[in-house]
Structure 1
Amino acid sequence: MKLSHSLALTLPLASGWAVAADLSVKFELPQLNVAEYHKPYVAIWIERPDQTVASTLSVLYDVKKNNHAGEKWVKDLRTWWRKAGRDAKLPIDGVSGATRAAGTHTLNFGPAITGLDKLPAGDYKLVVEAAREGGGRELVRVPFAWNGKGKASGEAAGKEELGKVAIAIQ
């Protein structure tokens, strides 16, 4: 009797693990040949078909500036700022992080951040926006189909401030 009771309590938990998905975002920040290079601020989010934000995954900015001065420039991530940033209280726990140098970077997110377990099946976009002081601003959208569970992937590339951007859901 005890075994069947504990099994009955465990099955709902196990089924929840089966639908939880890990999301990986790989993005390239190209090395630019400019006189004064500043690491770009980067926002990464999942966008619904109506272009509203389903989940903010990451906001990378100068988190170590005195008196939160780095937050002043987050609004240069204009698209993210208009859609989700102006209502956010920075730093966002588990989402905010330091800027990254030129190179290829991979960020991994669990279901608590992504919200994939709450998204209905459908077509979505991973959006990566980069803005650099004394430089440009670029937005890359990576379409992906989410069936509510399982795997999904997609990739796209920017032209100046961003290189290749890829999403993988396991």
Structure 2
Amino acid sequence: MKLPSMRNPFSVALCGLTATPALAADLSVTLQVPPIDTAEYHRPYVAVWLEREDRSVASQLALWYQQKRGGPAAAAPPMGPAAEGGTKWLPDLRQWWRRGGREMSLPADGVSGATRAVGEYELSFSQGRAPLGDLAPGAYKLVVEAAREDGGREVLDIPFQWPVKTTTPLKAQGKSELGAVTLLLKP
């Protein structure tokens, strides 16, 4: 009996490599900006980041603040908070500001955006891609902070281990400026 010859052993090796699953992991955050019954409502500033066990920032994931108004059609230059693009009030996100916000160059591509109205929002991040990057294995906390002009301030955190072996949903519930926050980790 004659055995079949292997004309190209390199292609056989490549087939084995392409069948290997990718080592990418995902992290999704769903956060709720709740309705607040007040005479004068202002949209909250919100910061979302990951902290290491030593409380240093591992990754800045999102920053929602008042964006500069105006543009070519504006009749007069903006005044007040809009003149600074809303950055004047970022220190009101006190924990975020102390943990690394003051060192950020704004606007940060892929991180900063405009404030959001009441509703539920989903943010998705993938291992190896900005702003999550290559998160080293270890213990972390997802931290979400919200502050509102003429309103309150609230910070929620959700501890987790990275990487995960199975899909893991984790939750925290706000009491005033934040509603439900869900962290979904996928291997």
Q: TM-score, normalised by structure 1?
A: 0.85
Q: Distance in 2 between matches of 1:142 and 1:77?
A: 18
Which shifted more, 100-109 or 27-36? 100-109
| Partner amino acid, structure 2, of 1:61 | Y
Distance 1:158 1:141 in 2: 10
Structure 1 position 145 matched with structure 2 position 161: yes
How many residues are treated as equivalent by the alignment? Answer: 165
Provide runs of 4+ in structure 1 moved above 2 Å.
Answer: 1-8, 64-69, 147-153
The answer as to 2:59 corresponding to 1:55 is yes
Q: RMSD over aligned Cα, in angstroms?
A: 2.4
Aligned match of 1:123 = 139
CA offsets 1:16-45 (integer angstroms, 9 cap, x no match): x72222211011111000010000000001
In terms of Rg, which structure is larger? 2
Task: Tell me by how many angstroms 1:4 deviates.
Answer: 3.1
- State the Cα deviation string for residues 110-136 of structure 1 (Å, max 9, x = none): 232213x3322x322110000001101
Q: Is contact 1:19–1:150 with CA below 8 Å preserved after alignment?
A: no
1:40 to 25, 38, 44: 44
Judging by fraction of residues, say which structure has more helix.
1
User: Partner amino acid for 1:155?
Assistant: K
- Are 1:92 and 2:91 counterparts? no
d(CA) in 2 for partners of 1:149, 1:14: 19
Q: Identity rate of aligned residues, in percent?
A: 51
